[in-house]
Amino acid sequence: MLQTAPLPQGAAETPNAKPTRIRFDPSTGFQQDLKERVDRYFEETGLRPRGSAALYRKAVVMLVWLAASYATLVLVPMPWWGALLAGVSLAFALAAVGFNVQHDGGHKAFSDNPALNKLAAASLDLIGGSSYIWNYKHNTLHHTYANITGHDDDIDLGMLGRLSPHQRHLWFHRFQHIYLWFLYGFLTFKWLLVTDFVRAMSGRINEHRFPRPKGWDLALFVAGKTLLVALAFVIPALYHPLPIVVAFFIGVSFLESLIISVVFQMAHTVEEADFPMPEGMPPERIHNEWMIHQIETTVDFARHSRLLSWYIGGLNFQVEHHLFPRIAHIHYPALARIVEETCREHGVRYTAHTSLWNSLRSHYRWLHEMGRPPVAA
Ligand SMILES: [Zn+2]
């Protein structure tokens, strides 16, 4: 009997969602063994998988950092270099809220209280995105179908880049290891101002359909976008010339995008990650069990850097995040030891780069490799 990918939380709750299902091989016992070990860890330590004081404290720190950076940039008169520093701080804080508050909330890993999870997830609407669209793009498509070309929207850059060996090669991709770093800076810009609207109106992310936002979801979507216009343009324009306001919006958004893109690319588009393709007639099949598929398509990095782990909300432990998205990120370093040991015992390949630099180099080489014409490669 084949195993259907466990549809992540968001999709399961939405009766109208019609994602294309891919079937995975049944578990060989690895999944059960790993889950038992992780359950035992929480029993023995007495820790809670979600909702700890440490997690809430961290969320408050990130939100205060964000508010202070914004208020300083907009309200405090200062020389140009002071404004630049405040802008950089704002970009890092925006990404930090995404990594540490919104991401856990969106995965229902922030708290055991559903309202608190929803509130944390809605911090994305506070910073211009849409928690509703994100739920389908990230929870449903990326987490279920990691690195499966045509299904995982996160590896789809359209014609601009080729991240998977199964995507079409175009002549200019041979320069992508250079120009993509620049284009990564426009990711959030595109999400906030273009793709969120296109997707909300069409109810589609590529070939995957999802219900268009209605009722409270639609109200939150509209409120978020209105807030974005107010916070990014209207309020700053009361204090500064509009061209300066627009320049800062582009600059802050560029840096924020670059940070988010780099963190994502390190986890999935490096030389060591697999890009398997489903086979057969619909429903197509991946000849691997779901958990091992997640491990082989994902790579950890810089696991010993406490500062980086703190700042990016444990997303350098992406293997653990993909296996246990409903466990709060502060537990990932401990889970990594369990996952790595279990993989070793079951003969499953587990990969981690020792530093962010090594990971960046691997991504660069992967872009270079994917940019070469397939025959030459
Ligand atoms: Zn995630």
Does 114 map to a domain? Answer: yes
Give bridge partners of residue 285 from the DSSP assignment: 23, 279
Is 338 a residue whose pLDDT tops 50?
yes
377 belongs to a structural domain: no
In a domain, 376, yes or no: no
In a domain? residue 197:
yes
Name the residue range of residue 77's domain. 3-371
Write down the pTM of the prediction: 0.88
Burial of 258 (0-12, 13-18, 19+ CB in 10 A): buried
Question: Which residues lie below 8 Å from residue 42, measured CB to CB, with a gap of 6+?
Answer: 48, 49
Tell me, in angstroms, the distance from the centre of ligand 1 to residue 23's CA. 21
Q: How far is the CA of 232 from the centre of ligand 1 (A)?
A: 26
> In terms of Cα–Cα distance, which of 335, 264, 323, 338 is closest to 292?
323
d(CA 70, CA 307): 23
Residues 7-32 as b or e (16 or more Cβ within 10 Å = b): bbbbbeebeebebbebbbbebeebbe
Q: How many angstroms is it from 327 CA to the middle of ligand 1?
A: 11
- Ligand 1 centroid, distance to 331 Cα (angstroms): 15
- Domain assignment present for residue 242? The answer is yes
pLDDT at residue 20 greater than cutoff 80: no
Question: Taking residues 158-165, what's their average pLDDT?
Answer: 94
Q: What's the 33 CA to ligand 1 centre distance in angstroms?
A: 23
Using the mean position of ligand 1's atoms as its centre, give its distance from the Cα of residue 322 in Å. Answer: 7
The count of domains in the chain is 1
CA of 328 to the centre of ligand 1 (A): 11
Distance, CA of 48 to CA of 62 (rounded, Å): 22
Q: How far is the CA of 134 from the centre of ligand 1 (A)?
A: 10
Rounded-to-integer distance, Cα 101 and Cα 10, Å? 17
Adjacent-strand bridge partners of 204:
209
Give per-residue pLDDT as tens, 296-331: 999 999 999 999 999 999 999 999 999 999 999 999
By percentage, how much of the chain surpasses pLDDT 90? 71
Output the CA 103–ligand 1 centroid distance in Å.
Answer: 6
Q: Which two tokens stand for residue 45?
A: 């330590």
What mean pLDDT comes out for the span 15-30?
69
Give the distance (Å) from ligand 1 centre to CA of residue 140: 10
Task: Report the candidate in 291, 288, 322, 308 with the shortest Cα–Cα distance to residue 353.
Answer: 308
Question: Distance from the CA of 343 to the center of ligand 1, in angstroms?
Answer: 21
